[in-house]
Amino acid sequence: MDEGYLSYRRLIWRRFCRHKGGIVAGGVLVSLYLVALGAGIFAPYPHDRTDVRMRHVPPQSLRFSLTDGLHVYGLKSVRNPVTSELEFTPDSDLRFPVRFFSADAENGFRLMTSEGPMFLLGTDRMGRDLLSRILYGGLVSLTVGLIGVMLSLVLGTVLGAVSGYFGGWVDHAIQRIIELLAAFPPIPLWMALGAAVPPGWSSIQTYFGITIILSIISWGGLAREVRGKVLVLREQDYTHAARAAGAGHWHIITRHLLPGCYSHIIVVATLAIPGMILGETALSFLGLGIRPPMTSWGVLLEEAQRVEVLLDNPWLLYPAIPVLFVVIAFNFLGDALRDAADPYGG
Amino acid sequence: MTDGQKTAGFISGFLIVCVSACGDVRIKDSTPRNFPTNLDAKEAPMLAAAVATGDLPPLEERLPDRPLVARHDYAGYERPGSYGGTWHAFHTGSDLGVWKMVGGYAPLIRWNWSCTGLEPGLAESWSFNADGTELTLHLRRGVRWSDGHPYTSRSFAFWYELCLDDRHQYVPPVWCLVDGKPMTVETPDEYTIVMKFAGPNWLVPLWLATGYWWSEEYNIPEHYMKRYHPDINPAYTDFVEFQRHNVSHQNPERPSLWPWRIARIEKGGFRVFLERNPYYFVVDDHGRQLPYIDRIETTLIPEPQVRVLKVLAGEIDCQFRDLDLRDLGLLVKGQERGDYRIKMWKSAAGAEPAVNVNWDDKDPVLRGLIRDQRFRKALALSVDRERCNEIAYRGLLQPQAATVSREAWHFSDPEGQRLFAEWEKADAGFDLSLANRYLDEMGLVRRDAQGYRLRPDGKRLSMVLDAPASAVALAENDVALIIADGWRKIGIDVVLYTPPGAELKLRRDLGTFTVHLHSEAEMDLFTYPDWVFPTVASYWHPRTGKWYQTGGKEGEAPSGPMIRLVALYDAIKGESSLEKRHALVREAARIHIDEGPFHIGTVGRKPYPVIVGNDFHNVPDEGILGPWAIVAPAISFPEQYFMESAP
Amino acid sequence: MIAYVIRRILMAVPTLVAISIIGFVIIQLPEGDFLDRKIQELQEKYGDSSSMARVEGLRERYGLDRPLWQQYLTWVSGFVQGDFGESFDFEREVDELIWDRLGYTILLSLGSMLFTYVTAIPLGIYSAMHQYRWPDHLLTLIGFVGASIPGFLLALALMVAMFEGFGVPLFGLFSTAYEGAPWSYGKVIDFLNHLWIPVIVVGLNGAAGLMRIMRGNLLDVLGQPFVQTARAKGLKESVVVVRHAVRIAINPLITIFGMSLPGILSGSTIVSIVLGLPTIGPLLLRSLLNEDIFLAGTLLMMFSVLLVIGNLIADIALAWADPRIRYEA
């Protein structure tokens, strides 16, 4: 077959497509992001809807029968006299059909709802539906990772390119700053920055504060990589040619040097996102992350971090699964991109 | 070695480690716990052994002439115990406060177990002169410090000299001041203390009994401490070393009057080992010297989950505090496996938490609103207390207005109980339409685009609610969310502030908050008036309280009902009749009912699960753990708890 | 070589100084200071104004009313002489609190790194040798999973599993019986029994990543001509791999050693908090939350020094392995 000439980008795409794992991962991620963005529709309940009578309900199964279609059983509850906890059992006499694409005044337009309680992953200590919280939390966690990485990207790329291109004391200064950041223990840095978030900031503002904090710490690695690449590329003929032709520094950096780094940058960025997501869970664990009423996977896991949960209400650990999936998927994707971007590798 | 073999080797190594971990590593104190109960033995065997070898003087010389006899008028007391055993517990603060509430109470005058009055401690008797300006205390003769040195009035006098000494950090305590003038202390002989005040000062005996902290201060082992005093020992030019050695929970060498003295503190303070005080001055009904238990071992465990696991593992013999009510289910289920039982004590708290609205808020418009009773009523009526109860405490508490403890002795007679019941219900309902009406009546009818009400100055009515982060205090955080929700429903924009660390306390101290949450429990408003009377720069009256504290130099003068509350407290201090003092407190409660609420209640009366090992005896079945001024369980004489396995 | 080492050490010093300054500033960032909180505490207890006077005395003694740069200089000058100041929270000298903990932190970190390398290298080799076959896929999957679980959750889950399943409470570094006791054979075994959970949890992250890298490197090396030569010579596959390829593939891992230290130290902080281990991390967290400045500052410096030393060792090892680096600026 006569393939003719393929551009660098097409070459990469073809190599990427050969990596089945990467494609699957990419697909999974895209769908997860779509679901998260559509949390308002996919989730059966709002994320902060509390229901005092429905605390610590175990996950309810979806059942199917020819007469009732897709439905869930109702719940019977008994209060344990000693611990004062409610204990739930499914009541097969009561069946609530699942409705699709319905809107109601209380909950808005949603994909799946039901007249009766439908807690497919159980509820937490305030009677909030875990599935909905995972979806809404996913929106926060996934976007924190993405935005944080984008900020790091910009910071790291620009500073790395500047550092590599100009050399001299600029390079030295930026290198020292990167080293300093690398030598600084991350937790105190997080903590201090977390403590510096002023009072009265809403959850949204805190959310952005957290993403900025996460990105501040991690741009160094990317900057170093970009610098390395730029150091090599700046000695290439075409760079000299451009300079001889009178092109400005900025023009050279953006039009000639950076494009050579793009593939590399994308790979590093993709591999950095899981770190960001895990970083958010760690921050929330320390109490410095997302604040209520917003929720995130980190917040959900922090709430699950009790002996009581592990012994009595283990379904509250489910948020760990999407974290796992997303991190694994990003790693696969990054791997595939890395293999694809390096056409001369083995 | 092939890598297959390497892998196999690694896996088997890993398994070996796992298997060895499965061996029963838990080793409880394996000393058999069937100690001989010999009612004839008047002292512990380990002390008797020391007497036999001549290392310790005989019992008659160690006990005072008339030892204090431990009272046990509570359900849960079984019998006089046997000597022996080591009590394992944990604590959460390096100042050992939690332990001192158990075994660190050796005051001149004690609170009695029912919290209805005082009883003798190190002082056998005390009396005022006719006009309350002079208090005379007669000390128990023959009491000795843990090193054998006699305890005399010199301790108290020495302490007071330090208070008057500018170079030292102690200042005369606020309770000895009348009109700003400190008392004078005279010691006509070794066993008499005479305190002379500038005016009637009837509350002083209560202050001497309150908390473990005052008695820690005024009982200084001056025979030991004087070697660090700069006037006596020229090697020291200031009090730095003195202060360092005067801290009981850090200096095992400092002689003590406690039932168990600190024998050893592990480096860094993470574990503290206590041992019986051979000169302890309290005995049981048969004249046997207390305590029964030989040793205490308490570990610093800051992480709550680890504490739970330690209890479930059966490693704790008896623990009164620092367990979360949320873990009640787990603790109950683990009783058999952990070989312990749970006794439900209570906090007697009137508000867990109380919502303190800053009477002295620095924003003048907000302040104007807050000082309008209708505003506060509206805030109170929009707190869904039932929901708070269910969500934060599983329905175990009781919705009510913010009050002090129902068991407080000011309300003990039927009339008092009626008043208290009224106080508990004041503005404690959940009525959003009434709340909305109050705000409408106040003229706050204009709203902005999002539906929030506008203040008189046109800005959105917004309040910042300080609450601990959920990782720090989950229940309070839950309550904060519910309160915010309720207030939003009446048109107030609530911003939750949940900082990490201790910033909450700072904002409280500086009075820069608008609303914050704080639990409230108190049995005695005479010595701890702050919930009801604005006398300290804290809670809901930071700047008024500051004014009172500094004698008018800082803060803001009282306004409105505060004037009367302050006057009532001053009257209490100068009132000689106990009955009349109680009446004055009730008048203050009346002001809170009629012109309040000044602080808003949510739920109260939290149960406190107390862990008692199955071979641990004589612990009261019920008690009050909330207020710290009444030093529980120390007032039950824990030195008469003992350890013994069932035969 | 020596010149390189000395140069690297000298370069580390200004870094440490800069960290100490930044750290000191950051610690003080939240409003007020420790003693403001102490006032609040005292007021709650004593309920009177005499607490104010008490605390003012303390404030003067610790120099908290002096400007920041003066406090910093006081602390640094003491630090260099070995006087780390006093902890307000614990009310004792800082160095009473830290040395034991430093020791345990180092042991935990070394243990984790050992675990990481001991598992990752053989498994990476195995994975590379069976590339694209099912053992490779399985190990890759396990590796990813291991790298993705949040440490605190895994630590708690393991601890509770051991307790529920085997009745063994594995928090802290020692059981109650051995805690205060002097070192003995039994105590060492007890220590190891408690150490394996944190070591695994902390090391798992790094192990997963390292395994992938080892695999990648080895595959690169295996694609090279000299390996073909060795195979053509008739050498057994395992000999080819182990004796020739691995030695070369391992080199880049030495750099990673230095870079993985921050991850191990911060991972161990979180795990230590969950398991109640007496290491630096939890103490640092507590002191930062309380603005216990001298304790926090000292621990911060300890952390940084550990990191810098780790990096130094890595750089030196790399320079020893690859002579070109010695001549880089």
- Residue C89 vs residues B45, B94, B95, C65, C291: alpha-carbon distances, Å: 39, 8, 9, 18, 9
The two tokens of residue C146 are 């291991």
Provide the pLDDT for residue A328.
81
Residues near B616 by beta carbon (within 8 Å), at least 6 away in sequence: B87, B317, B318, B641, B642, B643
AA letter at A3: E
C290 bridge partner residues: none
Average pLDDT in the B40-60 region?
A: 89
Inter-chain touch B303–C276, beta carbons under 8 Å? yes
Residue in B351, B602, B358, B354 with CA at minimum distance from that of residue B464: B358
Range of the domain at A113: 52-121
Is A141 part of a structural domain of the chain?
yes
d(CA C153, CA C204): 13
Q: Are A196 and C274 in contact (CB < 8 Å)?
A: no
Question: Any bridge partners for residue A96, and if so which?
Answer: A72
Q: Is the peptide bond prior to C150 cis by the omega test (within 30 degrees of 0)?
A: no
Q: Which of A99, A121, A143 lies at the terminal end of a domain, its last residue? A: A121
> What are the C-alpha distances in Å from C278 to residues B92, B474, C162, C265, C282?
14, 25, 20, 14, 8
Q: Which amino acid is at B119?
A: E
H-run or E-run covering B4 = helix B3-22
Query: What pLDDT is recorded for position B639?
Result: 94
Taken in order C126, C129, C130, C132, is the CA torsion positive or negative?
A: positive
ω before C198 within 30° of 0 (cis)?
Answer: no
b/e burial code for range B430-454 (CB count within 10 A of at least 16 → b) = beeeebbebbeebebeeeeeeebbe
Contact of C322 with chain B, judged by CB distance below 8 Å, is answered with: no
Report the run of H or E that residue B187 belongs to, with start and end: strand B184-189
Question: What pLDDT sits at residue A196?
Answer: 61
Chain C touched by B31 (CB under 8 Å): no
Closest partner residue to A84 among B308, B394, B500, by Cβ? B394
- CB B51: neighbour CB atoms within 10 A? 16
* Percent above pLDDT 70 for chain B: 92
**A297/A208 same-domain check:** yes
Q: Say yes or no to pLDDT of B365 above 80.
A: yes
Closest CA to B123 of B106, B101, B103: B106
**B351-604 CATH fold:** Dipeptide-binding Protein; domain 3 (3.10.105)
Q: Which residue of C has its CA nearest to A345?
A: C220
Using pLDDT thresholds of 50, 70 and 90, give the confidence band for residue B566.
very high
Whether residues A170 and A68 fall in one domain: no
Is C328 within 8 Å of chain B by CB? no
- Choose the weakest-confidence range: A287-291, B139-143, B378-382, B403-407: A287-291
DSSP for residue C24: H
Render pLDDT for B55-82 as a digit per residue (tens, 0 to 9).
999 999 999 999 999 999 899 999 898 8
What confidence tier does B5 reach under pLDDT thresholds 50, 70, 90?
very low
User: Do the domain assignments include residue A44?
Assistant: no
CA C6/CA C292 separation, integer angstroms: 35
Q: Which residues of B289-311 are buried (b: 16+ CB within 10 A; e: fewer)?
A: bbbbbbbbbbbbbbbbbbbbbbb
Q: What class is the B45-105+258-347+606-643 domain?
A: alpha beta
Q: Which of residues 230-269 of C touch B (CB under 8 A)?
A: 238, 241-242
Task: Supply the pLDDT for residue C328.
Answer: 55
Cβ(B577)–Cβ(B279) under 8 Å? Answer: no
Among A121, A150, A169, where does a domain finish?
A121
β-strand B134-139 against A86-104: which pairing, if any?
Answer: unpaired
**Chains in contact with C, where contact requires at least 3 CB pairs less than 8 Å apart:** A, B
C76-104 pLDDT, tens digit per residue, is 887 777 778 777 777 778 888 888 788 88
Which segment, A157-166, A219-228, B18-27, B603-612, is predicted with the most confidence on average? B603-612
Nearest by CB to residue B505, choosing from C40, C58, C275, is C40
- The residue in chain A having the minimum alpha-carbon distance to the alpha carbon of residue B389 is A52
The pLDDT, as a whole number, for residue B18 is 43
Dihedral of alpha carbons B343, B347, B348, B350, sign: negative
How far apart are the CA of A320 and the nearest CA of chain C, in angstroms? 7
Higher pLDDT, C28 or B594: B594
Which ipTM value was assigned to this complex? 0.74
B240 touches chain C (CB under 8 A): yes
Chain B: residue whose CA lies nearest to A302: B471
In a domain, A45, yes or no: no
A50 in reach of chain B (CB within 8 A): yes
pLDDT higher than 60, residue B16: no
Q: Check whether the bond before A199 is cis (ω within 30° of 0).
A: no
Tell me which residues of chain B, numbers 179 to 198, contact chain A at a CB-CB cutoff of 8 Å: none
Residue A66 lies in a domain: yes
Chain B, window 320-339: residues with a beta carbon less than 8 angstroms from a chain A beta carbon: 326-330, 332-333
Q: What's the Cα-to-Cα distance from C190 to each of B337, C157, C163, rounded to whole Å?
A: 23, 20, 15
Q: What's the pLDDT band for B471 if we cut at 50, 70, 90?
A: low
Report yes or no: C51 at the B interface, CB cutoff 8 Å: no
Distance CA B401, CA B403 (A): 6
Mean pLDDT, residues B528-546 taken together: 87
Chain A residues closer than 8 Å to B312 by CB: 307
Chain A residue whose CA is closest to B502: A195
Judged against a pLDDT cut of 70, whether residue B542 lies above it is answered with: yes
Greater pLDDT, C211 or B29: C211
- A52 and B329 in contact by Cβ < 8 A? no
Is A46 a member of any domain? no
Report the pLDDT value the prediction gives residue B219, as an integer from 0 to 100.
93
Domain end position, chosen among A121, A140, A162: A121
Strands B515-520 and B462-466: parallel
Tens of pLDDT, residues C287-306: 877 778 788 888 888 878 87
Q: Return the closest-CA partner of residue C173 out of C197, C156, C149.
A: C197
Q: B301 and chain A: CB distance < 8 Å anywhere?
A: no
pLDDT above 80 for B351: yes
Contact A331 C15 (CB under 8 A): no
A321: closest chain C residue by CA: C149
**Can you give the residue ranges of every domain in chain B?**
45-105+258-347+606-643, 109-228, 351-604
The shortest C-alpha distance from B480 to chain C (Å) reads 22
Task: Tell me whether residues B464 and A126 touch, CB distance under 8 A.
Answer: no
Q: Which residues contact C317 (CB under 8 A, 6 or more apart)?
A: C254, C257
Subunit contact B174:C50, Cβ cutoff 8 A: yes
CA distance A37 to A25: 18
For strands B282-283 and B271-276, give the pairing: unpaired
The nearest alpha carbon in chain B to C48 belongs to B174
Nearest CA in chain A to B495: A200
Question: What pLDDT shows up at residue B435?
Answer: 94
Helix residue ranges, H only, chain A: 8-18, 20-37, 39-42, 130-166, 168-183, 186-196, 203-233, 237-244, 249-251, 258-285, 297-303, 307-312, 320-341
Identify whether residues A86 and A7 lie together within a single domain: no
Q: Confirm or reject contact between B503 and chain A (CB < 8 A).
A: yes
Q: Which pLDDT value is given to residue C37?
A: 61
Looking at per-residue pLDDT, the higher value among A100 and B568 belongs to B568
Taking contacts as CB-CB distances below 8 angstroms, the residues of chain C near A328 are 141, 144-145, 148
Chain mean pLDDT for chain C? 75
Residue A208 is assigned to a structural domain of this protein: yes
Confidence of residue B194 (pLDDT cuts 50, 70, 90): very high
Query: Of A192-201, B457-466, C10-19, C49-58, where does mean pLDDT reach its minimum?
Result: C49-58
Answer whether residue A160 is part of any domain.
yes
Q: In terms of CATH architecture, what is B109-228?
A: Alpha-Beta Complex (3.90)
Q: Check pLDDT > 90 for residue C190.
A: no
Pure H helices in chain C: 2-28, 34-46, 50-62, 68-81, 94-129, 134-148, 151-166, 176-179, 185-222, 225-232, 237-239, 246-275, 280-289, 293-321
* Angle of CA points A219, A221, A223, to nearest 5°: 65
Spatial CA neighbour of C75 closest among C21, C34, C147? C21
Which of A187, A189, A227 should one mutate to test binding to chain C, selecting the residue with the greatest count of C CBs within 10 A?
A187
Q: Which residues of C touch A285 (CB under 8 A)?
A: 150, 152, 270
**Which residue of C20, C149, C153 is the best one to mutate when testing the A interface, meaning the one whose CB has the most A CBs within 10 A?**
C153
Residue A97: CB atoms within 10 A of its CB come to 13
Q: Contact C16/C305 with Cβ under 8 angstroms?
A: yes
Q: Rg (Cα) of chain C, in Å, rounded?
A: 25
Dist. CA C14–CA A180, nearest whole Å: 10
Chain C contact for A141 (CB, 8 A cutoff) = no
Residue A96 CA to residue C42 CA, distance in Å, equals 58
User: Which two three-digit tokens encode residue C72?
Assistant: 């910093």
The answer to whether residues A303 and A186 belong to one domain is yes
In a domain, A126, yes or no: no
More confident residue, B585 or C50: B585
Whether residue C166 lies within 8 A of chain B, CB to CB, comes out as yes
Inform me whether the C-beta atom of residue A305 falls under 8 Å from chain C C-beta atoms: yes
Residue B12 has pLDDT above 60, yes or no: no
Helix or strand run (H / E) with residue C223: none
End-to-end CA distance of chain A: 24
CA distance B161 to B158: 5
Token pair, residue B30, equals: 């394996």
Residue A259: CATH number of its domain: 1.10.3720.10
Q: Kindly report the nearest CA distance between residue B348 and chain A, in angstroms.
A: 19
What is the block-wise mean pLDDT of chain A (346 residues), using blocks of 10 residues?
Answer: 59 73 86 88 85 87 83 86 82 84 74 84 89 92 85 86 81 81 70 61 75 77 78 76 77 72 76 81 74 83 80 86 84 78 52
- Rounded to the nearest angstrom, the minimum Cα separation between A156 and chain B is 30
Domains identified in chain A, total number: 2
Please check whether residue C278 touches B, CB under 8 A: yes
All structural domains of chain C: 2-81 (no CATH), 101-289 (1.10.3720.10)
- CB-CB under 8 Å, B478 with A84: no
Check whether C160 has a pLDDT greater than 90.
no
Higher-confidence position of B368 and C51 = B368
Give the strands of the sheet with B192-196, arranged side by side: B123-128, B134-139, B192-196, B184-189
List of residues 6+ apart from A70 with CB closer than 8 A: A62, A63, A64, A97, A98
Report residue C271 as tokens.
Answer: 């795990």
pLDDT at site C79: 78
C292 touches chain B (CB under 8 A): no
Which chains form contacts with chain A, at 3 or more CB pairs under 8 Å?
Answer: B, C
Cβ pairs B/C, distance under 8 A: 177
Among A128-137, B185-194, B528-537, C258-267, name the one with the lowest average pLDDT: C258-267
Residue A305 with chain C: CB contacts under 8 Å: 152-153, 156, 274
Quickly list DSSP for A5-63. Answer: ---HHHHHHHHHHH-HHHHHHHHHHHHHHHHHHTHHHHSSS-TT---GGGTTPPPPPPE
pLDDT score, position C329: 45
